[in-house]
Amino acid sequence: MRTTLYRVLLAALLGSVAVTAGQAQPPPPAPADDEAPIVVTGTRLTPAQARERAVEFIRGTGVAAGDRPVARWVDPVCIDVIGVSDRHAEIVKERLLLIANAAGVPVARGRCQNNLAVVFTGNAGAMVREVERRSPRRLEEVRGASRTRLVEGDAQIRWWYTTQPRSRHGMRESTNEPGFAAGAEGTPAGGGGSILPAGVPNLYHYNSSIVSTQAVRALVSASVIVDVDTMRMPLDAVAAYVAMVAFAEIRENDFAAPGSILGLFAEGADAPRNLTDWDIAFLRVLYRLPLDRDARRHRGLLVRDLLAAVETEG
């Protein structure tokens, strides 16, 4: 089942981009010995070094930047890989599912509505510009300099997300019907309906807390575009990088964290070509985190729990 998002991506892939879905050639598969493990154990750090690294890692990813709380997948992820042969698409999809299961990311089973697109194309920039031309609202959550880099930059892998506010229990926004708005004509006095005007989106919650924000940010779609014309990395490494940016709301590709798959494209760096112990620990912590907290609290919890997870698993 393909949603409007996927029709837009397919149209962009087949429209103005130099290659078609049947022509794009992905990076070569990694050697067999490199396919099985997910975790690569790094050098042991002192407690002070580990904390400094955790703080820098969380800050660099931007997963809880400023006053914006963490967003993650709440609904199960349904993956579609387009622009390559079925065999290569299956390699990428299996890798993403393996990492999702290891990290605790919810995954759809059987027939599902696609919400994560991984697109291989010969000209990533042209494709993103075509998406912007055909359906600019798809990129509405990418703003300012980040929007410019996404559309006009030269990154080998680019991505964007759409998010949605939910109640702390995962319920979507609802809108008031005219007959249920408090004080609306025809309703009993003191009718107990919403005091908001009809049609205004709102979230319902049924308890109060001095800790919970009573609302969460949910990832509802993600698009990851891989430029095969400039890619020189093996397919397994590309799939691992895609998994990291697809399952966490990573701010941009300028964060080349040492000892992380996020450093894959750093110049002169001997970066891991797989998710490391640090990366997997980060994703596991992210998917255990209580989402109904403010951004500052999220940053503190992420640093604390990441340190605990690395220490326990190391």
- pTM (global) more than 0.95: no
Strands 79-82 and 71-73: unpaired
Interhelix angle 47-61/295-313, nearest 10 degrees:
130
Q: Is residue 185 part of a domain?
A: no
Whole-number Cα distances in Å, 289 to 181, 189, 247, 292, 304: 35, 43, 14, 9, 11
Instruction: Give me the number of domains the chain comprises.
Output: 1
Q: Is residue 187 part of a domain?
A: no
Which domain range does residue 244 map to?
Answer: 4-27+46-165+212-313
Residues paired with 301 in a beta bridge: none
State the amino acid at position 248 in one-letter form: A
Give the number of other Cβ atoms within 10 Å of residue 177's Cβ.
Answer: 12
pLDDT of residue 254: 85
Q: Is residue 10 part of a domain?
A: yes
Q: Is residue 202 part of a domain?
A: no
Q: pLDDT per position in the chain (314 positions), as tens?
A: 455 665 666 666 655 444 333 445 666 555 444 444 554 445 567 888 889 999 999 999 999 999 999 999 999 999 999 999 999 999 999 999 999 999 999 999 989 999 999 999 999 999 999 999 998 888 999 999 999 999 999 999 999 999 999 977 656 655 445 444 444 444 444 444 444 455 545 445 455 555 577 789 999 999 999 999 999 899 999 999 999 999 999 988 888 888 899 999 987 657 889 999 999 999 999 999 999 999 999 999 999 999 998 877 65
Rounded Cα–Cα distance for residues 23 and 83 (Å): 8
Helix residue ranges, H only, the chain: 4-14, 47-61, 86-103, 124-134, 144-152, 235-247, 277-286, 295-313
Q: Is residue 194 part of a domain?
A: no
Closest to 219 (Cα-Cα) out of 274, 159, 267, 132? 159
Q: Is residue 57 part of a domain?
A: yes
DSSP code of residue 162: E
Q: Is residue 247 part of a domain?
A: yes
Q: How many residues are present in the chain?
A: 314
Q: Is residue 190 part of a domain?
A: no
